[in-house]
Amino acid sequence: MRRSRPHSVAVSDLLSLGFAAVVAQAVLLREAMAALGGSEFAWGVVLAAWLGGMALGARAGGRGRVGGAVGPALVLALTLGGVVLLRAAPSLTGRAPGEVLSLLHAVWVWLAAVLPGAGVGGWAFARLSNASVATLGAGATYAWESLGGVVGGLVFTLLLAATGSAAAILVAAAVVGLAALVARGRLWVGLGWVAVLLFTAVPSEKWLAAMGWRWAGRPGALGAARSTSQERLEVSAGSPAVLFADGRLVAELPDPYRAALRGHLLMLLQPHPQRVLLVGAVPGELEPYLLRHPVERLDMVVEDVGMSKLLEEIRLKPALSPEQERRLHVVVGDPLRVVRRGGPWDLVILADGDPSTLRGHRTRSRELVAACRTALAPDGVLAMRVGVSDTYLGGVGGALLATLASTVRAEFPVVRAIPGEEVWLVASHGEQDLSPERLAARWQRRAISDAIFRPELLPTLLDRGRAESLEEFLRRPRLPPTTSEHPRAVILAAALEEGRAEGRVGRALVRVERLAHWALPLGLGIWALWLVFGGLRRRVSRAGLLATVGFCSIGWWLLMLGAWQVTRGSVYAEVGALNAVLMGGLGASALALGRRTHLAERWLPIVLAGGGALSGVMTVWWVWGGEAWSVLPLLLVAGSVTGAAFSGTVVLGDLGGEVFGAARGFAADELGAAVGAALLGLLGLPVLGAVPLGLTLGGLCFGAAVAAALAARR
């Protein structure tokens, strides 16, 4: 049997490790987002734990050269265990059914789920790099691992994302196992390995879904589960059925009492609602009641078409009459784009939940409210749902309501409020009469008959005393509006969703928000000055430079991930492809400079300065409101800068002439990225804002460039 060449085996193992690491990271990121109700705070938690684990593993790998070949399969096996742990987290931490997992009370769960796989990944890279550096070069080992990540990211987004977490991991394990065995001349063993794992993929996914439902303590039996491009959906069996999206209780279907009261009341807010836009409602929940009014056209925006298809398949969407079907127009797409391109509407209803995620924030941002103002008819009305009860307006809940009210008031001259277990903000260009008598008269004129909704209920639904107290609260000094660039409402809604509006989290968030505006830029400024001081002494810390590269790289990644989220709506499936773009630029530049160490070292200050310029371009993107397509080239450039900076720094010699090396460099780079993920993932966009974050990253990069230039003096 012909033996594989060491060069091809080394490349195959590095590609497999990158492939496995990116698939594992994407799966854990999705699982963590689902555990947090879809919150992007999972980005910081998971990425910090993952990158920190990679750094620790790389250091533990030391100078050894054996054992790295088993790394890819072991990473995926440990990731599967982490997925099971995250699904079981509600039971392990005592969460109630439908309650999202807490960041603070489940720290050990995050670490136990993420660190083992990440640590093995870092250890395996160190071993593989040490074994192949003489053949490939330090930069090239990093490049081949990154290019494997490109393939893994694309395969995950295009093929594996819709299969579910367990199935995706098993298919990925089949791929890396086959690659390792074929590279060593064991084709038939590899094919047997693939057959076994593919055979168990679907049953494993069904088992995981059923056990996750049981561990979460949800009512009844699991009826159906599906991973769409936007979220993970779970529906109970029987009727009425309970729908969960990313672990959050979304709706009970059917729920005619709640839906009838809400739907009819909203339609009575406008005297002549001929054209209506509905955003954020669960398909089939409100349309039957809205269409009983004299509506000529009801436009319903559906972001997750997978949810609509699932509800149709299990027959939870109520049947509409042919006449109602004719007036209903379903639009699949981003709400902001739909509003900007459509209209005029007489009534716009924002019926989705509070903006506890960047995805959800898109329908509560000032940008969307401004688009609604433009798209409304002269006598049009905007109705915005806020999941805060008017009976208690203290703490984070009151701050969230005040922030959203300020956002609406920034665009509309008249803003009223309807009290209840959930408050509805009602905005218009002119004065409104929301008295029970006026709405009852509209109901009578429309001659609608409904066994659930009667005009006698209106004085209770529109209680004058509660309404006056609520509007008095809203007349207090305004808070700043929430915008795409600075989504202030996200951190408030996330704290409220965790059910601790007056607890430690709420108070801590207020203090952190005040401190982060000056403490984070100040700390990074001190870091940059420390690097420059080292350059003046011609003894700049190579570990410090690499940590800076990792920190800025994860900062660029989070900035562009947020940009994609606010323009496209979700990164649930696209996270793999976006990561692939970043890794593609990283791998290409590292491979190009891997064997040209003199060029990599000479260009290092220019590359780092280019990172500062890139941060400026990203800042301009947020200021001007860039398009989604521009995120991809910016990520590609970010990866290229990262790869080139890594290649240039790992070949820097100390005073004795010893270079830093790929294994130690990888550990320092990942450690800096872990710190960046923890700080920027939790405090970046929601607290600091995109523009200050971009400017801070730019200053740090320019400081590192000055330090590298000073250290290069002869």
State the Cα–Cα distance between residues 192 and 195, nearest whole angstrom: 5
pLDDT at 5: 43
pLDDT at 502: 40
Q: How many other CB atoms sit within 10 Å of the CB of residue 427?
A: 25
Q: For 384, how many CA atoms within 13 A lie in the half-sphere containing its CB?
A: 34
Q: How far is CA 146 from the centre of its chain?
A: 22
Q: How many other CB atoms sit within 10 Å of the CB of residue 96?
A: 9
What pTM did the predictor assign? 0.83
pLDDT at 234: 92
State the Cα–Cα distance between residues 222 and 207, nearest whole angstrom: 11
pLDDT tens digits for 263-277?
999 999 999 999 999
* Residues linked to residue 425 through DSSP beta bridges, in sequence order: 384, 417
pLDDT at 507: 52
pLDDT at 349: 97
pLDDT at 129: 83
DSSP labels, 649-677: HHT-B-TT--B--HHHHHHHHHHHHHHHH
The structure tokens listed for 219 are 């009512």
Residues in Cβ contact with 410 at an 8 Å cutoff, skipping those fewer than 6 apart: 366, 369, 481
Residues in Cβ contact with 299 at an 8 Å cutoff, skipping those fewer than 6 apart: 275, 276, 277, 278, 329, 331, 338, 342, 345
Q: How many other CB atoms sit within 10 Å of the CB of residue 187?
A: 11
pLDDT at 594: 63
Query: Strand order of the sheet with strand 241-245?
Result: 222-227, 232-236, 241-245, 248-253
DSSP labels, 491-546: HHHHHHHTT-TTSHHHHHHHHHHHHHHHHHHHHHHHHHHHHHHHHHTT---HHHHH
Q: How many other CB atoms sit within 10 Å of the CB of residue 452?
A: 13
Segments in the chain below pLDDT 70: 1-6, 38, 40, 96-106, 133-134, 137-139, 498-514, 569-573, 594-595, 597, 653-663, 713-714
DSSP labels, 358-371: HHHHTTTSHHHHHH
pLDDT at 372: 96
The structure tokens listed for 447 are 């001659």
**488-497 and 395-409 helices cross at what angle (nearest 10)?**
150
Report yes or no: 245 and 38 within 8 Å, Cβ to Cβ.
Answer: yes
